[in-house]
Homo-oligomer: A and B are copies of this chain.
Amino acid sequence: SVPPGVLPLCHQPLAWGRAAQQPLSPLQPPGLPLAPCRAFSNNKILVELDESSGVATMKFKSPPVNSLSLDFLTEFCISLEKLENDRACRGVIVTSAIPKVFSSGLDITEMCGKSTEHYGEFWRAVQEAWLRLYGSNMVTVAAVNGSSPAGGCLLALSCDYRIMVESPKFSIGLNETKLGIVAPFWFKDTFVNVVGHRVAERSLQLGALHPAPEAHKFGLVDELVPEEKLQEKAAAVMAQWLALPDYARQLTKSMMRKAVLDRLVAHREEDVQNFISFISKESIQKSLRMYMEMLKKKS
């Protein structure tokens, strides 16, 4: 709905390897025509579109912890693209169908003991997911109904508004340093745009996971609600944002986010190579293996 001559938000075609090899059609639920997607469920994400309100809900349902695997990210991008191109859809609520966790972040198994090519493919999918969500023309509301570390936090940060269940048992943050890895510059840029430079500097260095009340205090999330009110609140916030004319709202959103989106677009391949060479270091691989074994023992 953005007319020509105006800078639209970032909408690049799906470009990474896997998507190019796999046709989109197998992901379509059987019995639905290709063009007007109204509701579709894939393996890892359930998408429902309420045509009367124009609001879709994306529910992450990839047990045990909605980790962002290559498959998950591929599905996420395809789902988002479908909604973006669907004229009946103006907003998306992103939430989890798994109790107690929104998303545990990037899937460590994709970064451990794999080939250089695999690391590259995975990282392009992470970039793509962020570019599409942070640059979406739709209104995006995160209904954070569980813990949301690292990449899970990034997804929430990339939405227009964040509502979180008020329980201090659930925490959120970019805790990469705790694992011995480093959030890339565009995670950092997204974080700084939400909480400011100082809070980001401290929180990123400490790899802090903030309990919901603390996260709310410094603006990492916009609002806290009891769990049973979350979906109702998300719908109300969505309605408030959808009351604005789409075109003016989209141009304004683009103006606010363009600099940060453009920075990754300009350095995308460099960022992939950085990731590959960092993650391929033996010291980093060792850290990740130890972390995974610790997780196994826990469960």
- CB within 8 Å of B: which residues of A? 3, 5-6, 160-161, 176-183, 185, 188, 192-198, 200-202, 204-207, 219, 222, 240-241, 244-245, 247-249, 251-253, 255-257, 277-278, 281, 283, 287
- The answer to whether A244 and B207 touch across the interface, beta carbons within 8 angstroms, is yes
Q: Contact between B240 and A206 (Cβ–Cβ < 8 Å)?
A: yes
Q: In the complex the two chains form, what is the Cα distance from A196 to B245 in whole Å? A: 24
Main SS of chain A's interface residues?
helix
Q: This chain: how many copies in the complex?
A: 3
A219 pairs with B198, CB closer than 8 A: yes
Other than the given A180-B247, A182-B255, A206-B241, 8 more pairs (CB < 8 A) read A5-B277, A161-B202, A177-B248, A194-B197, A201-B256, A204-B256, A206-B244, A207-B248
16 pairs, CB–CB < 8 Å, chain A vs chain B: A160-B202, A160-B205, A177-B245, A182-B252, A183-B252, A183-B255, A193-B197, A194-B197, A197-B256, A200-B256, A201-B256, A205-B252, A205-B253, A206-B240, A206-B241, A247-B283
